[in-house]
Chains A and B, each alone.
Chain A
Amino acid sequence: MTQAEPQVVDFPLRKPGVAFPPPGYAGYREQQGLVLSCLPNGDRVWLVTRHEDVRAVLTDPRISSNPEHPGFPNVGESLGVPKQDQIPGWFVGLDSPEHDRFRKALIPEFTVRRVRAMRPAIERTVDERLDAMLAAGDCADLVADFALPIPSLVISSLLGVPPADRDFFESRTRTLVAIRASTDQQRESAAKDLLRYINRLVAIKQKWPADDLVSRLLATGAIAPHELSGVLMLLLIAGHETTANNIALGVVTLLTNPEWIGDDRAVEETLRFHSVADLVSLRVAVEDVEISGQLVRAGEGIVPLVAAANHDENSFECPHRFDPSRSARHHVAFGYGVHQCLGQNLVRVEMEIAYRKLFERIPALELAVPAEGLSFKHDGVVHGLHALPVRW
């Protein structure tokens, strides 16, 4: 196939002051679907922007999730976490069939039914955060005081972290995501602290099994103890900032569209509308593939942009409108294919409870700064807010 040298476009998200999803996505979707872009380190990757193409990429066995393949996109800043390929058990970076052993062992922990059983514990966690906010006065930073602690506390209780250690756990996870307020060294040392803590947790559960995820996984024998640490680290990292950012962005959207407060359908639409994991699903072609008429050669990196796909006019009517009454279930905010988010049912419940309790208990909640003055994480892998000042 002969093709003209394609134009190379700016890598998304790296520009303060540009709305999210970047308005440029619409042009890529309409013109060629796939566009070449330069990563901050100079590597070239294919950005995939159409809903249909993103689903095709994420289910194609010739396209790999394994960062050890040459050409795998290196989007830089990996939240201070050790490199994926250095942690055994980091199964989001494995392909089938190696991936499936981990996934199969974890599925029972995240079924719809299992997650429903976690409801009372999640409600308690959310109530405690609100108690603390209300006791502290009449204003708060909803990112630091609400959105970040909730998923961290939920994950620590899921993993069986004893209550006495939850503050330690929460403070380290908070440092990991504070790309502005912490240095690279601080984030690296927080990641090391967490990994050390998790190693110890696994050792303790080996000796004294209890009724928790770590003990059950050890009992299945499907995952070796040294791999289990990587699995737990993945659960922690995959489920923290993603969830927190959705909670915070969703609150802003609900405050500016108050007619949807109290409607649980806002959860699914928030996931689609904000698509915070735009740069999370990274892939590399291991054979030549053709996507939307574009030849992608073996060894070329691919970044399926889920925010672009979730704002594709061909799949979502008036995609720029926040409309919880639409049927948005086919969004790809959680990815697609065998790596589709394992924690998605947990997130749905966390978001639903967080919004419901927040607006029930603080009906006078309002932004403490104009919406245009909010500061977005243009510099992060996961889209979100640095802070969300509110008052009541």
Chain B
Amino acid sequence: MRITADTGRCVGAGQCVLNAPRAFDQDDDGLVTLLLAEPGADEEAGVRLAAGLCPSRAITVHED
């Protein structure tokens, strides 16, 4: 599993940081930044939840 995040779409709601704090952070501008581009198995559930909750659909999960 691989994730990408589009800071152009991010509206800084912080859902990603709350739900998968090991995979996502907010930078000084409050926008999403990836801590793990290829999260391991323990992170998968949190990352999927975060991607589903992101109100601006800024997070994409790639299944490759």
Chain A interface residues toward B at CB < 8 A:
58-59, 103-104, 107-114, 329-330, 334-338, 340-342, 344-345
A337 touching B56, Cβ below 8 Å: yes
Is there a chain A Cβ closer than 8 Å to B63's Cβ?
no
A146 to chain B, nearest CB (A): 26
Q: Give the residues in chain B near A329, CB-CB below 8 Å.
A: 15, 19, 49, 53
Q: Give the residues in chain A near B18, CB-CB below 8 Å.
A: 112, 345
- In the complex, which residue of chain B has the Cβ closest to the Cβ of A103? B11
A340 touching B29, Cβ below 8 Å: no
A107 touching B52, Cβ below 8 Å: no
Q: Give the residues in chain A near B15, CB-CB below 8 Å.
A: 329
**Measured between alpha carbons, how far is A191 from B12 in the docked complex, in Å?**
29
* A108-B28 CB under 8 A given contacts A103-B11, A344-B13: yes
The 8 Å CB contact of B30, one of A107, A334, A338, is: A107
The 3 closest A-B pairs by CB, nearest first: A107-B12, A107-B30, A340-B55
B30 touching A111, Cβ below 8 Å: yes
* A107-B29 CB under 8 A given contacts A340-B11, A344-B14, A345-B18: yes
Chain B interface residues toward A at CB < 8 A:
11-15, 17-19, 26, 28-31, 49, 52-53, 55-57
A111 touching B14, Cβ below 8 Å: yes
**Measured between alpha carbons, how far is A344 from B53 in the docked complex, in Å?**
14
Q: Give the residues in chain B near A334, CB-CB below 8 Å.
A: 13
Q: Give the residues in chain A near B52, CB-CB below 8 Å.
A: 330
Q: A112, A335, A338, A345: which has the most chain B beta carbons within 10 Å?
A: A112
A107 touching B17, Cβ below 8 Å: no
B28 to chain A, nearest CB (A): 7
Q: Give the residues in chain A near B17, CB-CB below 8 Å.
A: 111-112
10 A–B contacts from the bound complex (CB under 8 Å):
A103-B11, A107-B12, A111-B17, A111-B26, A112-B14, A114-B30, A329-B49, A330-B52, A344-B13, A345-B14
A108 touching B55, Cβ below 8 Å: no
A111 touching B55, Cβ below 8 Å: no
B26 touching A104, Cβ below 8 Å: no
Q: Give the residues in chain A near B56, CB-CB below 8 Å.
A: 59, 337-338, 340
- In the complex, which residue of chain A has the Cβ closest to the Cβ of B10? A107
- In the complex, which residue of chain A has the Cβ closest to the Cβ of B31? A107
* A336-B29 CB under 8 A given contacts A107-B11, A107-B12, A111-B12: no
- In the complex, which residue of chain B has the Cβ closest to the Cβ of A114? B30
**Measured between alpha carbons, how far is A335 from B17 in the docked complex, in Å?**
18
Q: Give the residues in chain A near B11, CB-CB below 8 Å.
A: 103, 107, 338, 340
Q: Give the residues in chain A near B31, CB-CB below 8 Å.
A: 107
**Measured between alpha carbons, how far is A342 from B52 in the docked complex, in Å?**
18
Q: Give the residues in chain B near A111, CB-CB below 8 Å.
A: 12, 14, 17, 26, 30
- In the complex, which residue of chain B has the Cβ closest to the Cβ of A58? B55
B55 touching A338, Cβ below 8 Å: yes
Q: 11 new A-B pairs (CB below 8 Å) besides A107-B11, A340-B55, A345-B14? A: A109-B30, A112-B14, A112-B17, A114-B30, A330-B52, A330-B53, A334-B13, A335-B55, A337-B56, A341-B13, A344-B13
